[in-house]
Amino acid sequence: MRDVAIIGIGLAKFGERWDCGLKELMVEAGIAAIRDANLNSKDIEMIYGGTMASGRFVGQEHTAALMADQLGLHNIPAVRIENACASGGTALREGFMAVASGMHDIVAVGGVEKMTDVTSGEAATALGGAGDQEWELFQGITFPGLYALIAKRHMHDYGTTEEQLAAVAVKNHHNATMNKYAQFNKEISVGEVMKSKVVADPLKLLDCSPISDGAAVVILAPLETAKKYNDTPIKISASAQASDTLRLADRDSLVELKATKIAAAKAFAMAKTTPSAIGAAEVHDCFTIAEILAMEDIGFYKKGTAAKAVEDGETAIGGKIAINTSGGLKGCGHPVGATGVKQAVEIVTQLRGEAGGRQVTGIEKGLTHNVGGSGATAVVHIFERYN
Ligand code: COA
Protein backbone atom coordinates (compact mmCIF):
# COMPACT_ATOMS: atom_id res chain seq x y z
CA MET A 1 0.00 0.00 0.00
CA ARG A 2 1.29 3.50 -0.86
CA ASP A 3 1.24 6.43 1.57
CA VAL A 4 -1.39 9.04 0.66
CA ALA A 5 -1.39 12.82 1.14
CA ILE A 6 -3.89 15.65 0.85
CA ILE A 7 -2.45 18.25 -1.52
CA GLY A 8 -5.43 20.56 -1.94
CA ILE A 9 -8.47 21.72 0.05
CA GLY A 10 -11.50 23.84 -0.76
CA LEU A 11 -14.79 24.85 0.83
CA ALA A 12 -17.99 26.56 -0.20
CA LYS A 13 -19.29 28.71 2.64
CA PHE A 14 -21.75 26.80 4.83
CA GLY A 15 -25.12 28.31 5.68
CA GLU A 16 -28.48 29.09 4.14
CA ARG A 17 -27.17 29.55 0.61
CA TRP A 18 -30.22 30.92 -1.16
CA ASP A 19 -27.83 32.74 -3.49
CA CYS A 20 -26.91 29.54 -5.34
CA GLY A 21 -27.81 25.96 -6.20
CA LEU A 22 -26.20 22.56 -5.72
CA LYS A 23 -23.96 22.95 -8.77
CA GLU A 24 -22.56 26.30 -7.69
CA LEU A 25 -21.71 24.87 -4.26
CA MET A 26 -19.74 22.05 -5.93
CA VAL A 27 -17.92 24.50 -8.20
CA GLU A 28 -17.11 26.93 -5.37
CA ALA A 29 -15.41 24.20 -3.30
CA GLY A 30 -13.93 22.30 -6.25
CA ILE A 31 -12.23 25.25 -7.91
CA ALA A 32 -10.80 26.32 -4.55
CA ALA A 33 -9.31 22.84 -3.99
CA ILE A 34 -7.86 22.55 -7.50
CA ARG A 35 -6.24 26.00 -7.16
CA ASP A 36 -4.93 25.13 -3.69
CA ALA A 37 -3.30 21.96 -5.07
CA ASN A 38 -1.59 23.94 -7.89
CA LEU A 39 -2.97 21.36 -10.29
CA ASN A 40 -4.07 21.27 -13.84
CA SER A 41 -7.56 19.81 -13.40
CA LYS A 42 -6.79 17.42 -16.29
CA ASP A 43 -4.44 15.61 -13.86
CA ILE A 44 -7.43 14.41 -11.80
CA GLU A 45 -8.09 10.77 -12.64
CA MET A 46 -11.14 9.93 -10.51
CA ILE A 47 -13.75 11.64 -8.36
CA TYR A 48 -15.67 10.32 -5.35
CA GLY A 49 -18.60 12.47 -4.27
CA GLY A 50 -20.45 12.16 -0.97
CA THR A 51 -24.13 13.19 -0.99
CA MET A 52 -26.78 11.84 1.35
CA ALA A 53 -30.20 12.84 0.04
CA SER A 54 -29.91 15.26 -2.87
CA GLY A 55 -32.94 13.61 -4.51
CA ARG A 56 -35.09 14.49 -1.50
CA PHE A 57 -33.59 17.95 -0.98
CA VAL A 58 -33.28 19.31 -4.53
CA GLY A 59 -34.51 16.53 -6.84
CA GLN A 60 -31.04 15.82 -8.19
CA GLU A 61 -29.41 12.36 -8.21
CA HIS A 62 -26.26 11.21 -10.02
CA THR A 63 -24.27 13.85 -8.18
CA ALA A 64 -20.72 12.52 -8.65
CA ALA A 65 -20.98 12.64 -12.44
CA LEU A 66 -22.55 16.09 -12.05
CA MET A 67 -19.61 17.17 -9.88
CA ALA A 68 -17.12 15.96 -12.52
CA ASP A 69 -19.17 17.67 -15.25
CA GLN A 70 -19.37 20.99 -13.38
CA LEU A 71 -15.65 20.98 -12.62
CA GLY A 72 -14.77 20.28 -16.26
CA LEU A 73 -13.35 16.86 -15.37
CA HIS A 74 -14.92 15.28 -18.42
CA ASN A 75 -15.04 11.52 -18.90
CA ILE A 76 -13.21 10.45 -15.74
CA PRO A 77 -14.78 7.80 -13.49
CA ALA A 78 -17.10 9.43 -10.94
CA VAL A 79 -18.71 7.55 -8.06
CA ARG A 80 -21.34 8.85 -5.66
CA ILE A 81 -21.09 7.66 -2.06
CA GLU A 82 -24.25 7.61 0.07
CA ASN A 83 -23.59 6.66 3.67
CA ALA A 84 -26.01 9.01 5.45
CA CYS A 85 -24.22 11.80 7.39
CA ALA A 86 -20.97 9.83 6.95
CA SER A 87 -21.11 10.09 3.14
CA GLY A 88 -18.21 12.58 3.06
CA GLY A 89 -15.97 10.60 5.40
CA THR A 90 -16.71 7.41 3.48
CA ALA A 91 -15.91 9.13 0.17
CA LEU A 92 -12.56 10.18 1.63
CA ARG A 93 -11.85 6.59 2.65
CA GLU A 94 -12.70 5.35 -0.88
CA GLY A 95 -10.40 7.99 -2.39
CA PHE A 96 -7.65 7.04 0.06
CA MET A 97 -7.94 3.37 -0.97
CA ALA A 98 -7.86 4.25 -4.69
CA VAL A 99 -4.56 6.12 -4.29
CA ALA A 100 -3.07 3.74 -1.68
CA SER A 101 -3.72 0.75 -3.93
CA GLY A 102 -1.90 2.33 -6.85
CA MET A 103 -5.02 2.30 -9.03
CA HIS A 104 -5.04 6.10 -9.35
CA ASP A 105 -2.57 8.89 -8.60
CA ILE A 106 -4.61 12.10 -8.33
CA VAL A 107 -8.13 11.70 -6.92
CA ALA A 108 -10.68 14.38 -5.97
CA VAL A 109 -13.01 13.71 -3.04
CA GLY A 110 -16.02 15.96 -2.69
CA GLY A 111 -19.02 16.27 -0.42
CA VAL A 112 -22.09 18.41 -1.00
CA GLU A 113 -25.63 18.90 0.30
CA LYS A 114 -28.24 21.60 -0.28
CA MET A 115 -30.78 21.15 2.48
CA THR A 116 -32.49 24.51 2.94
CA ASP A 117 -34.75 24.43 -0.12
CA VAL A 118 -37.25 22.22 1.76
CA THR A 119 -39.19 22.82 4.99
CA SER A 120 -37.74 21.71 8.37
CA GLY A 121 -40.29 18.88 8.48
CA GLU A 122 -39.30 17.62 5.03
CA ALA A 123 -35.63 17.83 6.04
CA ALA A 124 -36.29 15.84 9.23
CA THR A 125 -38.07 13.14 7.20
CA ALA A 126 -35.23 12.94 4.65
CA LEU A 127 -32.64 12.72 7.45
CA GLY A 128 -34.76 10.15 9.27
CA GLY A 129 -34.10 7.73 6.42
CA ALA A 130 -30.62 7.28 7.89
CA GLY A 131 -32.23 5.35 10.74
CA ASP A 132 -34.52 2.32 10.49
CA GLN A 133 -37.37 3.61 8.34
CA GLU A 134 -39.84 0.91 9.41
CA TRP A 135 -39.09 0.68 13.13
CA GLU A 136 -38.00 4.24 13.92
CA LEU A 137 -39.01 6.94 11.40
CA PHE A 138 -42.40 5.44 10.52
CA GLN A 139 -43.19 5.20 14.23
CA GLY A 140 -42.55 8.95 14.54
CA ILE A 141 -39.03 9.24 15.91
CA THR A 142 -36.60 11.49 14.03
CA PHE A 143 -32.92 12.18 14.80
CA PRO A 144 -33.31 14.70 17.60
CA GLY A 145 -35.53 12.10 19.33
CA LEU A 146 -33.00 9.28 18.93
CA TYR A 147 -30.15 11.38 20.31
CA ALA A 148 -32.43 12.59 23.12
CA LEU A 149 -32.85 8.96 24.22
CA ILE A 150 -29.06 8.58 24.22
CA ALA A 151 -28.68 11.80 26.20
CA LYS A 152 -31.27 10.74 28.81
CA ARG A 153 -29.48 7.43 29.36
CA HIS A 154 -26.06 9.13 29.61
CA MET A 155 -27.50 11.56 32.18
CA HIS A 156 -28.99 8.66 34.12
CA ASP A 157 -25.81 6.56 34.10
CA TYR A 158 -23.14 9.25 34.62
CA GLY A 159 -24.91 12.29 36.04
CA THR A 160 -24.28 14.33 32.88
CA THR A 161 -26.20 17.61 33.12
CA GLU A 162 -28.06 19.73 30.56
CA GLU A 163 -25.67 22.59 31.39
CA GLN A 164 -22.70 20.38 30.49
CA LEU A 165 -24.35 19.56 27.14
CA ALA A 166 -24.92 23.27 26.62
CA ALA A 167 -21.18 23.88 27.19
CA VAL A 168 -20.48 21.88 24.01
CA ALA A 169 -22.67 24.23 21.98
CA VAL A 170 -21.16 27.34 23.60
CA LYS A 171 -17.59 26.20 22.77
CA ASN A 172 -18.44 25.25 19.20
CA HIS A 173 -20.30 28.50 18.48
CA HIS A 174 -17.27 30.37 19.88
CA ASN A 175 -14.90 28.48 17.55
CA ALA A 176 -17.23 29.16 14.61
CA THR A 177 -16.91 32.92 15.15
CA MET A 178 -13.29 32.54 13.97
CA ASN A 179 -14.21 30.55 10.83
CA LYS A 180 -15.32 32.57 7.81
CA TYR A 181 -16.86 29.44 6.22
CA ALA A 182 -19.14 28.78 9.22
CA GLN A 183 -22.94 29.06 9.18
CA PHE A 184 -23.12 30.79 12.57
CA ASN A 185 -20.87 33.65 13.64
CA LYS A 186 -22.40 34.51 16.98
CA GLU A 187 -21.41 33.65 20.54
CA ILE A 188 -24.06 31.96 22.68
CA SER A 189 -24.20 31.41 26.45
CA VAL A 190 -25.19 28.40 28.54
CA GLY A 191 -28.23 30.39 29.65
CA GLU A 192 -29.33 30.97 26.04
CA VAL A 193 -28.99 27.27 25.25
CA MET A 194 -31.03 26.38 28.34
CA LYS A 195 -33.76 28.88 27.38
CA SER A 196 -33.95 27.84 23.69
CA LYS A 197 -37.05 25.87 22.67
CA VAL A 198 -37.16 22.17 23.49
CA VAL A 199 -36.85 20.01 20.36
CA ALA A 200 -36.73 16.56 22.02
CA ASP A 201 -36.21 16.64 25.78
CA PRO A 202 -33.44 17.15 27.00
CA LEU A 203 -32.18 18.52 23.64
CA LYS A 204 -33.07 22.09 22.84
CA LEU A 205 -32.73 24.09 19.61
CA LEU A 206 -29.19 25.17 20.52
CA ASP A 207 -28.14 21.56 21.26
CA CYS A 208 -28.84 20.66 17.61
CA SER A 209 -26.79 21.05 14.46
CA PRO A 210 -28.71 23.13 11.91
CA ILE A 211 -30.10 22.46 8.44
CA SER A 212 -27.34 23.66 6.09
CA ASP A 213 -26.07 24.08 2.56
CA GLY A 214 -22.38 23.61 1.78
CA ALA A 215 -19.66 21.71 -0.03
CA ALA A 216 -16.07 20.61 0.57
CA VAL A 217 -13.40 19.10 -1.66
CA VAL A 218 -9.94 17.61 -1.01
CA ILE A 219 -7.39 16.43 -3.59
CA LEU A 220 -5.35 13.30 -2.86
CA ALA A 221 -1.98 12.20 -4.27
CA PRO A 222 0.69 9.60 -3.45
CA LEU A 223 2.83 11.01 -0.62
CA GLU A 224 6.05 10.37 -2.54
CA THR A 225 5.09 12.83 -5.30
CA ALA A 226 2.94 15.20 -3.22
CA LYS A 227 5.61 17.88 -2.83
CA LYS A 228 5.52 18.41 -6.60
CA TYR A 229 2.18 20.13 -6.05
CA ASN A 230 2.29 21.49 -2.55
CA ASP A 231 4.99 22.51 -0.04
CA THR A 232 2.90 21.27 2.90
CA PRO A 233 1.23 17.99 1.95
CA ILE A 234 -0.57 16.37 4.87
CA LYS A 235 -0.24 12.61 5.25
CA ILE A 236 -3.34 10.49 5.87
CA SER A 237 -1.80 8.07 8.35
CA ALA A 238 -4.98 6.05 8.98
CA SER A 239 -8.40 5.41 7.47
CA ALA A 240 -10.81 3.13 9.31
CA GLN A 241 -14.53 2.45 9.23
CA ALA A 242 -17.06 0.29 11.09
CA SER A 243 -20.81 -0.28 11.12
CA ASP A 244 -23.50 -1.17 13.68
CA THR A 245 -27.24 -1.85 13.82
CA LEU A 246 -29.37 0.86 12.23
CA ARG A 247 -31.96 0.51 14.96
CA LEU A 248 -31.03 2.01 18.32
CA ALA A 249 -33.19 -0.58 20.11
CA ASP A 250 -30.94 -3.39 18.84
CA ARG A 251 -27.80 -2.01 20.49
CA ASP A 252 -26.18 -3.51 23.61
CA SER A 253 -25.68 -0.02 25.04
CA LEU A 254 -27.24 3.39 24.50
CA VAL A 255 -24.29 5.29 25.95
CA GLU A 256 -21.64 4.28 23.44
CA LEU A 257 -21.35 4.07 19.66
CA LYS A 258 -19.66 0.71 19.07
CA ALA A 259 -18.85 1.60 15.45
CA THR A 260 -16.88 4.62 16.67
CA LYS A 261 -14.96 2.52 19.20
CA ILE A 262 -14.02 -0.08 16.59
CA ALA A 263 -13.09 2.43 13.86
CA ALA A 264 -11.04 4.55 16.29
CA ALA A 265 -9.12 1.56 17.68
CA LYS A 266 -8.31 0.43 14.13
CA ALA A 267 -7.23 3.94 13.13
CA PHE A 268 -4.89 4.36 16.11
CA ALA A 269 -3.33 0.94 15.36
CA MET A 270 -2.91 1.78 11.66
CA ALA A 271 -1.32 5.16 12.42
CA LYS A 272 0.76 3.63 15.22
CA THR A 273 -0.29 6.40 17.57
CA THR A 274 -2.49 7.07 20.62
CA PRO A 275 -5.26 9.52 21.54
CA SER A 276 -2.82 11.60 23.62
CA ALA A 277 -0.78 12.43 20.48
CA ILE A 278 -3.76 14.12 18.77
CA GLY A 279 -3.65 17.94 18.92
CA ALA A 280 -7.04 18.66 17.34
CA ALA A 281 -10.04 16.52 16.44
CA GLU A 282 -13.12 17.25 14.39
CA VAL A 283 -15.78 14.95 15.84
CA HIS A 284 -19.39 14.37 14.81
CA ASP A 285 -21.40 16.70 17.09
CA CYS A 286 -24.74 16.47 15.28
CA PHE A 287 -26.20 17.00 18.76
CA THR A 288 -24.27 18.11 21.85
CA ILE A 289 -24.54 14.64 23.42
CA ALA A 290 -22.91 13.19 20.26
CA GLU A 291 -19.70 15.16 20.95
CA ILE A 292 -19.59 13.70 24.48
CA LEU A 293 -20.03 10.14 23.16
CA ALA A 294 -17.38 10.70 20.47
CA MET A 295 -14.78 11.96 22.98
CA GLU A 296 -15.34 8.89 25.13
CA ASP A 297 -15.63 6.28 22.37
CA ILE A 298 -12.57 7.54 20.46
CA GLY A 299 -10.61 7.26 23.70
CA PHE A 300 -9.85 10.89 24.54
CA TYR A 301 -11.74 10.49 27.84
CA LYS A 302 -12.97 7.60 29.98
CA LYS A 303 -16.69 6.82 29.74
CA GLY A 304 -18.69 9.24 31.83
CA THR A 305 -15.98 11.91 32.18
CA ALA A 306 -16.07 13.91 28.92
CA ALA A 307 -18.99 16.20 29.80
CA LYS A 308 -17.15 17.61 32.83
CA ALA A 309 -14.00 18.06 30.71
CA VAL A 310 -15.95 20.24 28.26
CA GLU A 311 -17.45 22.24 31.12
CA ASP A 312 -13.95 22.75 32.56
CA GLY A 313 -12.62 24.09 29.24
CA GLU A 314 -10.28 21.17 28.55
CA THR A 315 -11.54 20.80 24.96
CA ALA A 316 -11.34 24.49 24.02
CA ILE A 317 -8.58 25.79 21.75
CA GLY A 318 -5.56 26.04 24.07
CA GLY A 319 -6.95 23.28 26.33
CA LYS A 320 -5.81 19.68 26.71
CA ILE A 321 -7.21 18.68 23.29
CA ALA A 322 -8.96 21.06 20.90
CA ILE A 323 -12.27 19.56 19.79
CA ASN A 324 -14.13 20.97 16.79
CA THR A 325 -12.00 24.02 16.06
CA SER A 326 -14.05 24.67 12.89
CA GLY A 327 -17.14 25.13 15.04
CA GLY A 328 -18.14 21.51 14.46
CA LEU A 329 -21.47 20.53 12.99
CA LYS A 330 -23.16 22.70 15.62
CA GLY A 331 -21.47 26.02 14.82
CA CYS A 332 -20.02 25.56 11.33
CA GLY A 333 -23.14 23.81 10.04
CA HIS A 334 -24.01 20.29 8.86
CA PRO A 335 -24.71 19.93 5.13
CA VAL A 336 -24.77 16.20 5.67
CA GLY A 337 -22.90 14.92 2.58
CA ALA A 338 -20.20 17.58 2.92
CA THR A 339 -19.45 17.29 6.63
CA GLY A 340 -16.90 14.43 6.56
CA VAL A 341 -14.84 16.17 3.88
CA LYS A 342 -15.07 19.53 5.67
CA GLN A 343 -13.69 17.89 8.80
CA ALA A 344 -10.60 16.83 6.79
CA VAL A 345 -10.26 20.36 5.37
CA GLU A 346 -10.20 21.76 8.93
CA ILE A 347 -7.56 19.33 10.18
CA VAL A 348 -5.38 19.97 7.11
CA THR A 349 -5.75 23.72 7.76
CA GLN A 350 -4.66 23.19 11.37
CA LEU A 351 -1.69 20.98 10.42
CA ARG A 352 -0.56 23.53 7.83
CA GLY A 353 -0.67 26.21 10.55
CA GLU A 354 -3.18 28.28 8.54
CA ALA A 355 -6.14 28.38 10.96
CA GLY A 356 -5.67 32.00 12.06
CA GLY A 357 -7.40 32.87 15.34
CA ARG A 358 -8.43 29.27 15.92
CA GLN A 359 -4.94 27.82 15.32
CA VAL A 360 -3.85 25.09 17.76
CA THR A 361 -0.20 25.69 18.60
CA GLY A 362 2.35 22.87 18.27
CA ILE A 363 -0.07 20.48 16.56
CA GLU A 364 1.57 17.45 14.86
CA LYS A 365 -1.39 15.09 14.42
CA GLY A 366 -5.15 15.50 13.95
CA LEU A 367 -8.21 13.25 13.72
CA THR A 368 -11.61 13.30 12.05
CA HIS A 369 -14.67 11.32 13.13
CA ASN A 370 -17.76 11.18 10.92
CA VAL A 371 -20.94 9.33 11.92
CA GLY A 372 -23.86 8.12 9.82
CA GLY A 373 -27.32 8.03 11.42
CA SER A 374 -27.36 7.30 15.14
CA GLY A 375 -24.06 5.40 14.82
CA ALA A 376 -24.67 2.70 12.20
CA THR A 377 -21.58 4.00 10.38
CA ALA A 378 -18.45 5.59 11.81
CA VAL A 379 -15.38 6.67 9.84
CA VAL A 380 -12.16 7.79 11.52
CA HIS A 381 -9.12 9.31 9.79
CA ILE A 382 -5.81 10.35 11.32
CA PHE A 383 -3.59 12.96 9.68
CA GLU A 384 -0.05 14.16 10.33
CA ARG A 385 2.41 16.76 9.22
CA TYR A 386 4.94 15.53 6.67
CA ASN A 387 8.21 17.45 6.50
N1 COA B 1 -28.70 26.06 15.96
C2 COA B 1 -28.76 27.41 16.09
N3 COA B 1 -29.73 28.17 15.51
C4 COA B 1 -30.64 27.52 14.77
C5 COA B 1 -30.65 26.13 14.60
C6 COA B 1 -29.62 25.40 15.23
N7 COA B 1 -29.58 24.07 15.09
N8 COA B 1 -31.68 25.78 13.80
C9 COA B 1 -32.32 26.91 13.49
N10 COA B 1 -31.70 27.97 14.08
C11 COA B 1 -32.11 29.37 14.05
C12 COA B 1 -32.43 29.84 12.65
O13 COA B 1 -31.28 30.42 12.04
C14 COA B 1 -33.51 30.83 12.91
O15 COA B 1 -32.91 32.04 13.35
P16 COA B 1 -33.51 33.48 12.91
O17 COA B 1 -34.90 33.50 13.46
O18 COA B 1 -32.56 34.44 13.55
O19 COA B 1 -33.47 33.46 11.42
C20 COA B 1 -34.28 30.26 14.10
O21 COA B 1 -33.32 29.42 14.78
C22 COA B 1 -35.48 29.45 13.72
O23 COA B 1 -35.11 28.59 12.67
P24 COA B 1 -36.06 27.49 12.07
O25 COA B 1 -35.50 27.05 10.75
O26 COA B 1 -37.49 27.96 12.11
O27 COA B 1 -35.90 26.30 13.12
P28 COA B 1 -36.67 24.94 13.09
O29 COA B 1 -37.40 24.83 14.39
O30 COA B 1 -37.44 24.77 11.84
O31 COA B 1 -35.45 23.88 13.08
C32 COA B 1 -34.18 22.26 14.26
C33 COA B 1 -34.64 23.72 14.19
C34 COA B 1 -33.29 22.10 15.48
C35 COA B 1 -35.39 21.34 14.43
C36 COA B 1 -33.41 21.92 12.96
O37 COA B 1 -32.27 22.74 12.87
C38 COA B 1 -32.97 20.47 12.94
O39 COA B 1 -33.76 19.58 12.58
N40 COA B 1 -31.73 20.17 13.31
C41 COA B 1 -31.21 18.80 13.34
C42 COA B 1 -30.66 18.39 12.00
C43 COA B 1 -30.33 16.92 11.97
O44 COA B 1 -31.04 16.08 12.49
N45 COA B 1 -29.24 16.57 11.31
C46 COA B 1 -28.78 15.21 11.18
C47 COA B 1 -28.14 14.78 12.41
S48 COA B 1 -27.86 13.04 12.53
State pLDDT tens for residues 266-324: 999 999 999 999 999 999 999 999 999 999 999 999 999 999 999 999 999 999 999 99
> What string of pLDDT tens digits covers the 387 residues of the chain?
999 999 999 999 999 999 999 999 999 999 999 999 999 999 999 999 999 999 999 999 999 999 999 999 989 999 999 999 999 999 999 999 999 999 999 999 999 999 999 999 999 999 999 999 999 999 999 999 999 999 999 999 999 999 999 999 999 999 999 999 999 999 999 999 999 999 999 999 999 999 999 999 999 999 999 999 989 999 999 999 999 999 999 999 999 999 999 999 999 999 999 999 999 999 999 999 999 999 999 999 999 999 999 999 999 999 999 999 999 999 999 999 999 999 999 999 999 999 999 999 999 999 999 999 999 999 999 999 987
Among 154, 173, 284, 334, the active-site one is 334
Q: Sign (positive/negative) of CA torsion 55, 52, 209, 201?
A: positive
**For position 80, what pLDDT does the model report?**
98
Q: What is the pTM of this model?
A: 0.98
Taking alpha carbons only, the member of 204, 210, 217 closest to residue 333 is 210
Domain spanning 139-209+237-385: CATH 3.40.47.10: yes
CA-proximal residue: ligand 1, atom 25 (nearest): 120
Peptide bond between residue 202 and the one before it cis (omega within 30 degrees of 0): yes
Q: 132, 146, 147, 209: which to mutate for ligand 1, most atoms within 8 A of CB?
A: 209
> Which among 205, 246, 284, 369 is the best mutation to test ligand 1's pocket, defined by most ligand atoms within 8 Å of the CB?
205
CA 343, 324, 85, 39: dihedral to nearest 10 degrees? -10
Q: CA–CA separation, 22 vs 115, rounded Å?
A: 10
Angle, alpha carbons 359-181-226 (nearest 5°): 65
User: What are the φ/ψ torsions at residue 353 (nearest 5 degrees)?
Assistant: 80, 30
Instruction: Say if residue 2 is exposed, middle or buried (CB neighbours under 10 Å; 0-12, 13-18, 19+).
Output: middle
Phi, then psi, of 212 in degrees rounded to 5: -140, 155
Architecture field, domain 4-119+212-234: 3-Layer(aba) Sandwich (3.40)
Residues whose CB is less than 8 angstroms from the CB of residue 69 and which lie 6 or more positions away in sequence, other chains included? none
Q: Which atom of ligand 1 is nearest to the CA of 208?
A: 7
Ligand 1 atom closest to residue 84's alpha carbon, by position in its atom list: 48
Give the list of residues 6+ apart from residue 380 with CB closer than 8 angstroms, or none: 238, 239, 240, 241, 260, 263, 264, 266, 267, 298, 367, 368, 369, 370
> Residue 386: its pLDDT value, please?
87
Q: Whose CA is nearest to atom 22 of ligand 1?
A: 205
Written as one letter, the residue type at 48 is Y
Identify the pLDDT of residue 134: 96
High-pLDDT (> 70) share of the chain, %: 100
Q: Are 383 and 376 in contact (CB under 8 A)?
A: no
What is the crossing angle of helices 258-271 and 288-298, to 10°? 50
Nearest CA to ligand 1 atom 2: 206
Spatial distance between the Cα atoms of 144 and 95, rounded to a whole number of angstroms: 31
Whole-number Å distance between alpha carbons of 387 and 233: 8
Ligand 1: residues with CB < 6 A are: 85, 120, 124, 127, 143-144, 199, 205-206, 208-211, 286, 334
Please tell me the distance from the alpha carbon of residue 11 to that of residue 245, in angstroms, as a whole number: 32
Whether the Cβ atoms of residue 329 and residue 353 lie closer than 8 Å to each other: no
Residues of the chain with CATH 3.40.47.10: 4-119+212-234, 139-209+237-385
Q: Is 154 a catalytic residue?
A: no
Between CA 285 and CA 290 the distance in angstroms is 5
Candidate from 113, 172, 211 with most ligand 1 atoms within 8 A of CB, to mutate: 211
In the residue annotation, 334 being an active-site residue is answered as yes
pLDDT of residue 387: 77
